[in-house]
Every structure is written in C-alpha cells, then in structure tokens.
Chain A
C-alpha cells in the first residue's frame, strides 16, 4: 500500500480517531462528569453542554460532602495518601528484595532454585480471600492487624512475584560475558551486580516496578480485610460516595480522576522504559 497516498492517509487518520475515541471516550466522559453536579449528570438526555463546577473536587479536598443526609465527612485525601504510601513502600521493598533474588535465579544454579521461584509465583495464583482469612488470624496473634507494616508485607504477594519474574527474564537476556569480563578485571560479585547488571537491566526493572505499582494501587481486598477505615486505599475510599441516600456521581468521577493521576503521571514519565523494558524482556535469543 502506498503510504503517501492522501486517501490512505485520511483513512489511517479516521481509523486512529475511531480507535482513540473508543478507548478514551469513557475517560473523557468521567472527566466531564467530575465538573458537573449530580443533577446535571442525571439529565435526560445527557448533554456535554453545562456550567462547570469545581464543587466535587472541593468536597474531596476539603473533606466535606453535602448530601441528603446533611454534611458528611469524607476522608478521600487520607485514602489517596494511603494508596501512595502503601504502593510506593511496597514496590520499594519488593525491588530491594526482588531484584537481587531475580539476579540470583538468572545467574546461579542452586538447589531448589526453580521450586523457590515457582513458589513465589504461585502467590499470584491463590484467590486473595483464601489467603487473607487465615492470614488475618496470624496477624492478630502477632499484632500486625491494622498496621501499615502488616499491609506492606501482604502487598509483597502482589509486587514481589511480578518483579522477580519480569526482572529475572531480563537478566537472563543480558549476556553474562560482559559481567565475566568485569569480574576478570578483579571486581567483586557485588560490584559486578551494581555496576554492570543493574544498569543494563534498568529498563526491565523500571517496567516491572511500574507494573507492580499499578497492581498495588488497584488492589482492593487486602486493606479492606486487614485494616481499619483509616488505612483504606482509594479503591475502597471511592465507594464512600455510594450511600443509601444516593450516589454522588460527580464526586465519584472527581475521585476517579484524582486517583488515576499518580499512576498516569508515573506511566507517562516511565513510558519509554515501559515499552523498551517489556519488549526487550519478552524477546529471547
């Protein structure tokens, strides 16, 4: 097909527009909803012409929601902070533990290595509730119920296997010859790891970290079962706008926009690493 043909160009443009609209329209609609009152949102038929309001964002930020039941306190910003804190620290811990482990699994052959690696991956197979109920009994006994430490520990079930398996594949793709040459120069194993292996694997690590962050961010059930209302992430907090006396659609939309912002910004920033990391890690040979 002649790519410079103007008809082809127009068709390509239209196809891209259609695909873009299809995928972005829900997000666009939610963004519009976040600037409308409930009454505007529930108009029949719906309209994209309206007088915008910042009241939904203000309700979330100020923590006061005016509803049929009067003025209610909303702890959404607290939920947002919990999500940032839990996801960031969980991924940081998983990187500290997972990257050296991934390197070890990729470079060294030791007894039961495959079994251990598979066991870590198997954490991803188990339905969360199956793990959580017995875990909550143990957490009570050792005093970890309703603590950030306990939650960060449990979040390793999400982050650690992802980081371990993605980064392991990445290390395996890097030729060990470069590391051997560096070792022959008299450098230690640790130095080889930090100066050669880690920089080469950086795109893969960034991709794994970003994916882990997104999975941690979207987690719903762990904090719900193991922690009190004060330690809930946005995924649980956003449901607070669904009340017996009505659904606050505008505030839900504003909450959605605020809660996707951190991951969106992070994804945009790390986009280059993400594509490079995932594609390189996926190709063997």
Chain B
C-alpha cells in the first residue's frame, strides 16, 4: 500500500471522509473496487492492531480443518490480512462436505492434535462439548487480555449466539443457565421459501401465506402445464430431512420434538399440533413433491430449483441465494419469501443451521488459536466476506446494517433482505439439545418416508415413532 492510499484509508477509518469519496479517490489512484476492498480491509486490520496486541503469538502456526464451503473460501481469500496483522501462519485442510463430519469425528475421537480449530454445525457440538472434545470459549470471550476490545460479542444475533451455547444437560435450554459457549457462530441459514418468479408470473400466482395454502399452491403448479413440480423439500433418511422446512413449520404449529418432565426427556412429536402439521406436509409431498423425494438432500433440492425443475423450495434461504447465481439456468429468476406456516400465527419460526468455529481440546496452542478465531468471527472479516464474497448469512447485526452489503444483496437477490428481516427475529434452533439427536432425527425421517409412501397413516406413524424414541431415551438413561 502506498502512502497516499494509506492516508486515504486512514481518513475514512477516522470518519474524515465518506465511503463513496474514499472509493473515488482510490479509483483515481488506479485502484479498482475489489482491490480497494482488500486494501480497506488491510487498513482496518492495521487500525485493529493499534488497540490490541495482535502480535502476541507472532511466529506460531495453527492448523485448521475446514469444510469446502463459501464461508471457508471467504476466509481463505482474506487470510493474508490475518497473517500480516498477527505475524502468525495458518495452514488448513479442506474436505468436501460429504465426508467432512466423518473426518472431524475421527480426528476428535482419536484425540488428534493435528487440528487447532475446525468448522462445525451447532448440532454437532451437542456431542463434541459434553465429550470434552472442544473448549468452552466463554473464558476467552470474557478475557480482555485475550480478546480485542472491538470484538463486539453482543453484536452477534442473540438467537444464533445462544444456539451455539449449551450447559450439556439433556433438554436444557440452549444459551440458558450454566451454558458453555462451545462454538462461535460464523455464518448461518434459516429456512424459508425460495421460488421461481418466472414460473410464478407465468402461472399468475403469488407465494403462499401459510402451510394449507402452500399445499394447494404446490398442487396447482404441479397440475399446471408449466412442466415443473410444485415444491422441493428434502426426504433422505437423515437428520438433514427434519431440520429445514419440516421443523420450521413444526415449530410454528407449536409442536415440540421432546418435552422435559422432572429432568427426563419424553417424545412429543405425536402431539395433536404435530399430527396436524405432519399430515399437511405428507400430503404436500405426495401431491407435489419430487418423484424421488426419499433420496432428496440439499443438493437435489437446490439443483432442481436452479435448473427450473421445481417451482419453489422450503429450505435454507442461502440455498435459494446460491441457486440464483453461477451457471444455473434460472439464475436471476429466483425470489424469496418469509413464511409463517400456521394460519393466524404471528411470525415465522425458522429453524437454523449455523456454521461455527470450534476449538479442539487437543490442540497444543489454544491462545494462538483463539486469536485466529476472534479475527475470523470478527466484524472486519464478516464485512469483507459479506461485501465481496458469499459469506451469507452474516451472524452480526452490524453487517446486516452495512449499506454496501445491503445494496449488493438488494441488487442481485431481490426480496432476500426483506425475507431475512421478517424471518430472523424468530429464527433459532428448535430442536431439544440432547446426545441422541442423530438417532432421533434419523428415525423421524424414516417415519416420514413410511408416511409418504402410504405404508402407515400419519397419526399411527407419529405414535409409533414417539414410542420408539421413548424406548431409546429410556435405554440411554435420558427418559
């Protein structure tokens, strides 16, 4: 960075000029928008360094385990700034998502010291935390010697922050009393409707307002001559089938997966609300879902929307975001809608998936690792990723208020911000945290498959599932 460029950046950071003015000045110096963003981030990095001793672990190298994901790509693209800020080196292993959690589980269960920090989902830490495989990050966040004064922990969206904290007591509220912060939220997705505006315009229909209306709309589209099926949702025999649209609608109907009675867990997925919602869900898939629904995962649901094979999806908002770009046939045609499934309910209640950063208990340099984690989850990197990369959805409120980010999204993803703002207040993890999460949700997905295949009626299927889950909870000493 030249002295002139540095002066311009410094003046902007001190509030001496507007962003537009800074970009114009950098432009006159021959610096384009992307390079300008990188230099600005470098300037912000230097400003950070003045307030906190970022060089405390200079010369150390930390090793990361990452999932191949746009969040990891955004971090890698900005990594040089971290290196110059701290004098530390960062190496990383990137594994595809299909095998990622096997790799994490193998590394942690074998107490491997190979990785200092890794990406994880919030559900996974319900296993890793109580097993002693990851560190409680509260002690770092609260330590002013270890954490930069502008880290702004409270800037993270409250529901998301709490969703990554848990006491380890089965059934205890996430983020409740005695919670340990097992991971730092990094980026997240909530579940709402993404739809194909072209097809909707062609058929002269509007997004549905609630689940009964969605069932009708999806059937209308499937029965039309548009040559597409109505709605894409996941259906494989996996926890991933339950957590997106299904659990979001389930929670909106006031149903719960488990209840806690005298400290013991009891299956509650056969409540009247659950049965009402599940009956609609099953009908929707039977009438208007994909033909091979029972094999559908994130990939098939997204691919069909992007290729124009489905008219809408009830899944992660960022899945609709990704499908609106790249070489997808329907890129530019997709739109977004917040969704309140229960007729008369006040607001959406989307369940969320949170990609987070966790610190391995077995790593040999925890303080240095914390320096990386606070930088990667800090405001400056979040801004860089949100403005220039696909680090979406950001977990920080300040990023959602950032004009540059908002205008980028508003321009290329119309309706996305409105969808997010309507959905976000009610978004959190709606599962009851407990160690049998994988088993419970896999059995749940298997039960849904049987109901959709008409092997068992919905009422009977949910009663049978609840009985089965209760037996497993009892066997594990949880029920």
Q: A: which residues have CB within 8 A of B?
A: 37-39, 42-44, 67-70, 72, 132-133, 136-137, 140, 145-146, 224-225, 228-230, 232, 236, 239-240, 242-247
Contacts and interface: CB of A to CB of B under 8 A. Distances in A.
Contacts of A242: 96-98, 299
Nearest to B303: A247
Given A42-B303, A236-B96, A244-B97, A140 B329 contact: no
Interface string B299-317: 1001100111100000000
Q: How large is the interface on B (under 10, 10 to 19, 20 to 34, 35 or more residues)?
A: 35 or more
A228 B107 CA distance: 11
Best-buried of B69, B99, B307 by chain A (most CB within 10 Å): B99
B73 interface: yes
Interface of B: 68-70, 73, 93-99, 102-103, 106, 109-114, 227, 298-299, 302-303, 306-309, 318, 322-323, 325-329, 389-390
A218 to B, nearest CB: 15
Contacts of B73: 69-70, 72
12 contacts: A38-B327, A44-B227, A68-B327, A70-B389, A70-B390, A140-B112, A224-B102, A225-B102, A228-B114, A243-B70, A246-B299, A246-B303
A73 B347 CA distance: 42
Contacts of A133: 106, 109-110
Given A39-B329, A224-B103, A239 B98 contact: yes
A42 B94 contact: no
A232 B98 CA distance: 14
B70 A37 contact: no
B99 A236 contact: yes
A145 B322 contact: no
A43 to B, nearest CB: 8
A244 B69 contact: yes
Nearest to B316: A244
B114 A146 contact: yes
Contacts of A245: 70, 322, 325-326, 390
Contacts of A43: 307
Contact of B308 (A44, A225, A236, A240): A44
B466 to A, nearest CB: 31
Contact of B309 (A44, A140, A230, A246): A44
B322 A246 contact: yes
A145 B102 CA distance: 17
Best-buried of A140, A236, A245, A247 by chain B (most CB within 10 Å): A245
Given A242-B299, A244-B69, A68 B99 contact: no
Contacts of B106: 132-133, 136, 224-225
A70 B307 CA distance: 19
A132 B99 CA distance: 15
B70 A244 contact: yes
